[in-house]
């Protein structure tokens, strides 16, 4: 079905319909699944929402890694709840994408064979307990920065999913900062673990916002359609401006010698991440890329009998209903 949709995109959309559609977007109306929409709009949404859903699901892996090793029962329960929330976010987002005519099976297959991406941040390992703090503080912090504006995105099901997701992400960010506060007020070795986690996650967190505006292929069209509400660089700047004072509060040093407050622009000047590394991660060459996809593939294959069982049960129920009529 998705392949057919891509094919039909080649037939150009009616200019009058396109103009009327753009007028609805410009007027701030929400687009709903049964409304007419340009094929490019549908395809961009499937790409972005699907990538977002996959990120939530793959994002469970680096944190799931620490559930059995959390330092206390309380921390274990909190981490477990956070990882479960992420499964929920993935499911709302898959449902939102399904309203556009793609199935969850198709999206999963595209993730597993490399046609769809997941966020670059999850190709990095979580080496110590402090990484649970850094992931919550920085990764969920970056996710919120990106996702709060998406509550106003033009596609109704996506915007509504984002409202609930953002509430839960705020709790996630606070729990991450709480771990960092605890580590930073602990022993010198614990504080050093927190610093080390910040050192390793700072630049990968900056990469989460995507390539620089000059390199971003989709931003202009996605912003015109209000699928994206801000450019990648705008959100990255806001994230740095919000996060640097938090690092200072923790007594940690952001691993960037060039970081300096720029009075004129009212924000920090900061170093760009290594974009070569970013594009390598996107090609599937991140430190944990192979492992993440292998883990997802195993889970998908292991769950096949459950999916088949549910389908067989549904077919049996349908047949019984027809026979009774």
> Taking CB under 6 A as the rule, does residue 209 contact ligand BYC?
yes
> Taking CB under 6 A as the rule, does residue 289 contact ligand BYC?
no
> Taking CB under 6 A as the rule, does residue 55 contact ligand BYC?
yes
What are the DSSP calls for 265-279, one per residue? TTEEE-PPP-HHHHH
Site string for ligand BYC, 123-152 (x = CB under 6 A): ----------------xx--x--x------
Instruction: State the pairing for strand pair 267-269/260-262.
Output: antiparallel
Interface residue with ligand BYC, options 42, 47, 200, 236 (CB under 6 A): 47
Q: Pick the closer one to ligand BYC by CB: 191 or 225.
A: 225
Buried b / exposed e over 197-227, threshold 16 CB at 10 Å, is bbebbbbbbbbbbbbeeeebeebeebeebbb
Report the distance separating Cα 316 and Cα 325, nearest Å.
14
Q: Pick the closer one to ligand BYC by CB: 38 or 59.
A: 59
CB of 51 to ligand BYC, least distance (A): 5
Q: Is 252 exposed, middle or buried (0-12, 13-18, 19+ CB in 10 A)?
A: buried
Site string for ligand BYC, 104-123 (x = CB under 6 A): -------------x-xx---
Q: Pick the closer one to ligand BYC by CB: 52 or 191.
A: 52
Nearest to residue 153, comparing CAs of 38, 26, 30? Answer: 30
Instruction: Count other C-beta atoms under 10 Å from residue 2's C-beta.
Output: 18
Binding site for ligand BYC (CB under 6 A): 47-48, 51-52, 55-56, 59, 86, 117, 119-120, 139-140, 143, 146, 207-211, 216-219, 222, 228, 232, 282
């Amino acid at each position: 079905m998705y392949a057919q949709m891509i094919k039909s995109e080649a037939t150009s959309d009616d200019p009058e319909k396109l103009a009327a559609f753009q007028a609805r977007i410009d007027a701030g109306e929400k687009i709903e699944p049964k409304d007419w929409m340009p094929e490019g709009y549908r395809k961009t949404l499937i790409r972005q929402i699907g990538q977002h859903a996959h990120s939530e699901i793959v994002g469970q892996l680096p944190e799931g890694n620490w559930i059995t090793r959390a330092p206390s029962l309380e921390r274990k329960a909190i981490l477990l709840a956070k990882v479960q929330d992420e499964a929920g976010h993935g499911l709302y987002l898959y449902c939102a994408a399904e309203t556009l005519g793609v199935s969850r099976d198709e999206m999963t297959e595209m993730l597993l064979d490399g046609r769809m991406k997941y966020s670059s941040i999850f190709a990095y390992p979580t080496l110590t307990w402090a990484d649970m703090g850094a992931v919550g503080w920085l990764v969920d912090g970056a996710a919120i920065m990106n996702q709060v504006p998406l509550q106003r995105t033009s596609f109704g099901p996506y915007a509504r999913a984002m409202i609930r997701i953002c509430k839960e992400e705020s709790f996630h960010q606070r729990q991450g900062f709480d771990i960092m506060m605890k580590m930073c007020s602990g022993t010198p070795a614990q504080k050093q673990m927190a610093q080390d986690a910040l050192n390793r996650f700072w630049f990968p967190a900056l990469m989460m916002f995507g390539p620089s505006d000059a390199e971003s292929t989709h931003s202009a069209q996605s912003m015109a359609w209000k699928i994206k509400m801000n450019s990648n660089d705008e959100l990255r700047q806001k994230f740095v401006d919000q996060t640097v004072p938090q690092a200072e509060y923790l007594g940690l040093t952001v691993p960037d010698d060039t970081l300096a407050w720029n009075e004129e622009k009212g924000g920090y000047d900061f170093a760009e991440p290594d974009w070569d590394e970013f594009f390598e991660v996107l090609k599937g060459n991140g430190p944990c890329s192979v492992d993440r996809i292998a883990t997802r593939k195993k889970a998908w294959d292991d769950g096949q009998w459950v999916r088949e069982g549910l389908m067989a049960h549904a077919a049996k129920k349908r047949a019984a209903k027809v026979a009774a009529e």
